[in-house]
Structure 1
């Protein structure tokens, strides 16, 4: 036999003795690779000497003591369930299985514990409304307050978790903040519009229901969202997202005492929000800020509460009634029937309540396009001017409330985020809640000459809000500026710019008024 061929075959088979007179033969036997090298080397050494018979060598090997390669014995193989003649399992595989199982059990336990902690921790996941997705609200009532406007009331549904009512904490925080809105979705067109909730009225039965919201909506020709909402009935659902905070009224007002609103149409809703927030501050009545609303509508029937306001003899609203003229008064009388129906509306009653509760600090004037009365420079000067030291009493049984002297205001610092008109024009949005941790810098930057002349001066700014359609805002305060997909306040323009510049010239070096215009 060829030696090289025999050596190669010896690496794949092992020798064994057979019964009888036959010589030793080769029986095929598959061995693990780790043992093949040892058998192949040993067989090669055996086959090299040619002077000895192969059978003799095989007999010597069988008689010699066996030195098997290290590994488990036959008894161990049978005990471990390994068949005889098969290679041993991979060392450490059982230990790897144990490690893998323990690792997965530890990970599963950590996930369960984390889920339990999140479920028990206070969060807004169980809230009735959130800022990331639209939540369903059910329409509970719908009231037609004028030929073109209606008030819709919606109530939040329960939490998706069964048996757990949804949290109304977002609404509590929003009402405490002051000025905010929500988005309503039109599901067919997939569009959304911002709407400002009306403040709850003390005379409403559901005024303490924190999960209910009221909206003043005017149906506009071609308005996709208002048309959609006007077709919904009681019991149907509307989807809302929010709340979205706007300007921080208290921080921007500071120690100033005047908040004036120029409202066009449904823009009266944020004006009533601001009035509720400022007039319900738990301080003495004479120390509360004054809220003045100039409300413009196209039709007299939309001027809710006007007839009752005029009926008090001009004592509450005399600061502006004389500016409307006799023609407007005559036109108003011709619309008595519509006005009587409007006076029964919930919003009209709410406005009258605010006038009765805060006669010295809440005043409202009405302007109607079809009657020829408009908000002009003269009416703006009347609204921005301080009232007399003591206003007359709306009724003989009511004692007049003396109006305290205004607090002198510091000049607004150019670096102050709350009182600087220059920085206001550069704001990327109207959300002041993200800037609440920034402090006012007016006191640190005030000139010593001014603080010496006015030792009691404090930081603050009187506020003028302009809310309504874009054309209305642009006419009185200048248009907003679009920048990187968002609306910026933009520079001041329009009728208010000329009025405020004129007041600054008249004031001279005297006490500052610090008027700031906010566009909604």
Structure 2
């Protein structure tokens, strides 16, 4: 998730987002030698010129009229420039603080499927939700589609209710069937085709882009290439990841101050024992999403769960062990390896250093935190 964006007037003033949509403008200059210059136009050439200008003008006017008609009619096609109206289909609780939202266009003409597919093939992407009363927005990351997602026209989101978050509180207050204005897609991070291994360090709702990364990466599996993803998921409470089990021993879960403890100076509560969840406990919705991904791509997905209240935290050893395991199973073809970090700002800063704002843009900033201290070679790091 990204911080909410407040802009004068309306959303299109977001410089970073506008630049990502438009991109650098290219200017082309042409010249020709004197011998190639045109002679004065004949009556026939002037007639063709007028006909060409009329045709171009008519096409432009027709396109503009269609665009304005679509805007007035409320187009149901997801658009990166203007907001599109979606409908809230369901809201299922994941924990006491988070819910799984499902939205869909009020009518489906199939136009969104190609937009979704291109985004899924590219990498990690998000859409912006609008809070209409305050005229602010926040980016949220869709979860991968499921087999029963109504023809894949629906989008699903894991959203935590932040007591200080205007957008998340607004979304949690909506009734089923309410209209929600969304805009996108916005590509947050491309996953290159040659990527072989992704280590995803996720905090809280940062698991959503981790599932996205797994969905994009693992779809490239074939008889020759079998990419892998290792997910390290940290939560404050067990209820956020109930049913999640570590496949390896708990030795990698370091009993040390968490990133929250480092920031606020408190000590970890060592009174909790590492909880072993029994078979009779129903797994949370997000854990079931993870298990589905693991079942679909056996031996290509590994997950480790860390819970603050159980004094198990992601530390240097956890990340180091994942990198060494990935390198030992690498094909040796020089494919790129990625470490992606997603979660609250404090979590990202502790793991890889904070992102920075400069000239109206959010930039990666220098690599810092515990990942820098590991001094890893041949691993690219990206903060989401």
CA distance in 1, matches of 2:111, 2:252: 50
* Displacement of 1:135: 0.9
1:247-396 matches, cutoff 5 A? 247-251=189-193, 254=194, 256-284=195-223, 287-306=225-244, 309-310=245-246, 317-318=247-248, 321-324=250-253, 330-333=273-276, 340-341=281-282, 343=283, 345-386=284-325
Report the equivalent of 2:139: 194
Q: Does the Cα contact within 8 Å between 2:125 and 2:187 map onto a contact in 1?
A: yes
Report the equivalent of 1:490: 365
Distance 1:291 1:112, change over 3 A: same
Normalising by structure 2, we get a TM-score of: 0.73
CA distance in 2, matches of 1:387, 1:262: 15
1:453-492 matches, cutoff 5 A? 460-492=335-367
Q: Does the Cα contact within 8 Å between 1:304 and 1:347 map onto a contact in 2?
A: no
Q: Which has the higher strand share?
A: 2
Distance 1:267 1:167, change over 3 A: closer
- Of 177, 191, 212 in structure 2, the residue corresponding to residue 235 of structure 1 is 177
Distance 1:176 1:119, change over 3 A: farther
Query: What's the CA shift string for 1:369-394, capped at 9, x where partnerless?
Result: 111111111111111112597xxxxx
CA distance in 2, matches of 1:191, 1:386: 43
CA distance in 2, matches of 1:331, 1:364: 16
Across the aligned residues of Structure 1 and Structure 2, the Cα RMSD in angstroms comes to 3.3
Find the structure with the greater CA-based Rg. Answer: 1
Higher relative contact order (CA 8 A, sep 6+): 2
CA distance in 2, matches of 1:172, 1:331: 40
Q: Does the Cα contact within 8 Å between 1:174 and 1:180 map onto a contact in 2?
A: yes
Is 1:152 matched with 2:101?
yes
Q: Does the Cα contact within 8 Å between 2:76 and 2:85 map onto a contact in 1?
A: no
Normalising by structure 1, we get a TM-score of: 0.55
Query: What's the CA shift string for 1:423-445, capped at 9, x where partnerless?
Result: xxxxxxxxxxxxxxxxxxxxxxx
- Of 83, 107, 115 in structure 2, the residue corresponding to residue 170 of structure 1 is 115
Q: Does the Cα contact within 8 Å between 1:328 and 1:373 map onto a contact in 2?
A: no
CA distance in 2, matches of 1:351, 1:113: 49
